[in-house]
Amino acid sequence: MLATYITPQRYIAKSMPEFVSHPLLKPDTVSSRAYQLTLARNALEKSSLIVLPTGLGKTIIALLVMLERLEKGKALMLSPTKPLVEQHAAFLKRTLTIPEQVAVFTGSVAPSKRVDIWKGSRIIVSTPQVIENDLLTKRFDLKDVSLIVFDEAHRATGDYAYVYIAKKYVEQSANPLVLGITASPGSTPEKINEVKQNLFIERVEIKTEKDPDVAPYIYEKDVEWVRVNVPDKAAEIKILLDSLMDDRMDRLKALGVVRESRLTKKELLMLQEKLQADISRGGSPESYRAVSILAEIMKIEHAVDLIQTQGVVPLKKYFERLKDEAGSKGGSKATKRLMQDARLAGAMRIADTADEVNPKTEKVKEIVLEQIRENPSSRIIVFTNFRDTADFVSKELAKVEGIRPVRFVGQASKLNDKGLTQKRQVEILNAFRSGEFNTLIATSVAEEGLDIPSTDLVIFYEPVPSEIRTIQRRGRTGRNAVGRVVVLISKGTRDEGTYRVSQAKEKRMYRTMRDMKDGQRMEELLQNAQVAAPAEQRSLEEFEKPPERVEVYVDAREMRSAVVKNLEGMSVSLNVKTLEVGDYVLSDRVCVERKTADDFLDTLFGAGRSLFEQVIAMKHSYMRPILVIEGEGLYTKRRVSPAVIHGVLASIAVDYGVPIIFTADEAETASFLYSVARREQIERKRSVNPHAQKASHTLAERQEYLVSAISEVGPVIAKNLLRHFGSVKAIVNATEEELKQVDKVGEKTAKKIREVMDAEYRPRD
């Protein structure tokens, strides 16, 4: 057997060996596949995004690249979830001769321990959030990292932690190399380009199932779509819901908000954003009414979606939640109005009396039972979008002899629906692998990356419009043998449109990938997707001075916020600790409590610590407390009268003397915090004190405060007066003409000062 070492020069042996050989690899553990070796060789030359169908060994390619780069420094492998991290770490420990040098970083590993583990490890497998936090708090840096692998690289968009880590990596590492791996990067050049730019990718490497070197490892996937009838009762319910929808749309038209009689879900969301933006600028009465009506429409829209694609049982559960919300003290006005409508009451009555047999569920039972009878050792996954449906389908399948189903959902817990811990998820997958369960009824949590055993059959309870999710679901079968995929479609419903959309997006994705692979128009496609800054703007940015470095204390609970990343990008020295008061300490006298619009309303009306308690705590602990309210929707996210919110804001600003600053987003909040910190520390030469203990006023500050409290006199004029006269007593005794001799004191201000000093005290009560 020829040894194939993992170097560009020695990648392909004259005759392909059965296994890859390398000093750090255990013998006979990694099969030798030409396409994997080729992709790894290319990835060693330039930072690359590798697009490869599910089940074809993206992790093995990452391993091959890692083996070579370990000579130059550490390797860091990032994956979105803890189960995926543990899965990759187990694979590396199983295949490498240095398992003791493979470390796992997740939130369950204490930060203090991570520093020592980082120093003593050559390979670290981690969730991105942990690394992001450690970089922000400067527990370690990435200068000694020779390779970062971004698993499920299509996530590198927006504010996701991958974006920040990649940026810091290319800044800190002397010899960076990035490897992104994914099965589905997106359907458009713009999406692919965003990932490419965010991860500093230089090359896109693509393999499809039709490539000659990949085809021998591909098993056929028999994809079929099965159309099922919609029950009569469901049709009756939809007629009532459609009538409700028409009525609410007519109300929006009467307000002049829309012209159309129906809007898509995307159009409804865009309209909601537009109305909320209008309200944030003051808004008209029509906008407030329209937002409330739109909330009703969104609820009706969801009910229609459920009855068409999921059946009566999930709809009944949704109706029960609406009923509970309408009866609760904090229930929205939109829900209360809906529950008073006779048409919704009629729909609920029909749902209560409807036969709970769902044609889709019956078809699932039929298909699964047929598969089990043909092959008793089969493994089957049923994908559904909703937990209620997963619960119902699981219970129905459990009634069929030979079918051993288990529900597989995410960690988040909802009303009367507890999520699965990561530990329980792993236990379920192991039981599925061993055959204790033969049918997994899963939501989207099973789509991405998890080491789920290859299945013989995948059923889509409903189609999904996302090409990425469609590919990931379908990729769960056909790995080691011919697989079967069945997509259920309710006749005459949005299922049909959704399926067409997903097919079109997938075709567009492969068309884009083929263009890239063949070298045709790749640079043009990607470059056209870029929005270049004007030359004038670039020149300004090139000569802009770097911001002066300041120090900010940050509460540990704020580490998930993009505010912290923005501050770090402004050369702010961050000190993270659990603060007794506030979220950010900017000097010995300035403390800031940051609230998003949702946070503000939660602390105001929620059961936890009240907003006023937090404001009072800041006021008692710091001389200059500030409240920042971030984002839109303060007057639209809850059905609370604007007058109530105005009253609260007035009390905070006037009664407690705490300034309120409104910011548009996290970036603007960070900019404001930096400006205050710079003013305090650079211009005023003040120190930073994170301890919640109000600094005592100096005599000069008390004098300034006393004089500045006079009407028409602010801090600047107060200082001018004190410098000119030398004492508060001299100011009190000064004539109007003498006062006007002071800089910035005009006739109006002088009169006001004398009026305060000379007027007889007359209390109101």
| pLDDT over 70 at 655, yes or no | yes
Q: Tell me how many degrees the CA angle 592-595-598 measures, rounded to the nearest 5.
A: 175
Task: Report strand pairing: 551-555 vs 483-490.
Answer: unpaired
Q: What would the mean pLDDT of 564-589 be, rounded to a whole number?
A: 87
CATH T-level fold of 221-228+357-515: Rossmann fold (3.40.50)
Owner of token pair 């910035």? 744
Q: What would the mean pLDDT of 362-386 be, rounded to a whole number?
A: 90
pLDDT at 416: 61
pLDDT at 451: 59
Q: Which residue has the higher pLDDT, 218 or 748?
A: 748
Cα separation, 636 vs 332, in Å, equals 11
Partnered with residue 584 across adjacent β-strands are: 554, 592
The average confidence (pLDDT) of the chain is: 82
| pLDDT over 60 at 383, yes or no | yes
pLDDT band at 452 (very low <50, low <70, confident <90, very high): low
| pLDDT over 70 at 481, yes or no | no
Cα separation, 366 vs 488, in Å, equals 12
CATH classification for the domain delimited by 551-683, as one of 3.40.50.10420, 3.40.50.720, 3.40.50.10130, 2.40.10.220: 3.40.50.10130
| pLDDT over 90 at 511, yes or no | no
Class of domain 8-217: alpha beta
Cα separation, 582 vs 618, in Å, equals 7
User: What distance lies between CA 707 and its chain's CA centroid?
Assistant: 49
Residue 392 identity: F
pLDDT at 95: 94
Owner of token pair 């330039």? 46
Q: Which residue has the higher pLDDT, 733 or 526?
A: 733
pLDDT at 385: 85
pLDDT band at 592 (very low <50, low <70, confident <90, very high): very high
Cα separation, 183 vs 656, in Å, equals 56
Q: What would the mean pLDDT of 583-607 be, rounded to a whole number?
A: 85
pLDDT band at 521 (very low <50, low <70, confident <90, very high): very low
pLDDT at 1: 30
User: What distance lies between CA 39 and its chain's CA centroid?
Assistant: 31
pTM: 0.64
The proportion of the chain whose per-residue pLDDT surpasses 70, expressed as a percent, equals: 84
pLDDT at 100: 95
What residue ranges do the domains of the chain occupy? 8-217, 221-228+357-515, 232-353, 551-683, 699-758
For residues 37 and 12, is the Cβ–Cβ distance under 8 A?
yes
User: What distance lies between CA 331 and its chain's CA centroid?
Assistant: 26
pLDDT band at 273 (very low <50, low <70, confident <90, very high): confident
Q: Which residue has the higher pLDDT, 593 or 691?
A: 593
Q: Where are the alpha helices (DSSP H) in 518-631?
A: 522-528, 535-543, 562-569, 597-605, 611-621
pLDDT at 141: 92
| pLDDT over 60 at 623, yes or no | yes
Q: Tell me how many degrees the CA angle 200-204-206 measures, rounded to the nearest 5.
A: 150
pLDDT band at 762 (very low <50, low <70, confident <90, very high): confident
Mean pLDDT is lowest, of 72-81, 317-326, 632-641, 693-702, for: 693-702
For residues 144 and 573, is the Cβ–Cβ distance under 8 A?
no
Class of domain 232-353: mainly alpha
Cα separation, 471 vs 475, in Å, equals 6
CATH T-level fold of 699-758: DNA polymerase; domain 1 (1.10.150)
| pLDDT over 60 at 525, yes or no | no
Q: What would the mean pLDDT of 491-505 be, rounded to a whole number?
A: 79
> SS3 for 49?
strand
Mean pLDDT is lowest, of 91-105, 213-227, 338-352, 654-668, for: 213-227
Contacts of 378 (CB under 8 A, 6+ apart): 371, 372, 438, 455, 456, 457
Structure tokens at 500: 């067409």
| pLDDT over 50 at 520, yes or no | no
pLDDT at 329: 74
Whether the domain at 8-217 and the domain at 232-353 fall into the same CATH topology: no
- Per-residue model confidence as pLDDT tens digits over 388-411: 888 889 999 999 999 999 988 876
Q: Where are the alpha helices (DSSP H) in 435-493?
A: 467-474
pLDDT at 694: 57
Owner of token pair 């603060």? 579
- Per-residue model confidence as pLDDT tens digits over 159-174: 899 999 999 999 999 8
| pLDDT over 80 at 205, yes or no | yes
| pLDDT over 80 at 145, yes or no | yes
Measured in residues, the chain has a length of: 765
Cα separation, 305 vs 275, in Å, equals 24
- Per-residue model confidence as pLDDT tens digits over 705-752: 678 767 667 667 888 899 999 999 999 999 999 999 998 898 888 998
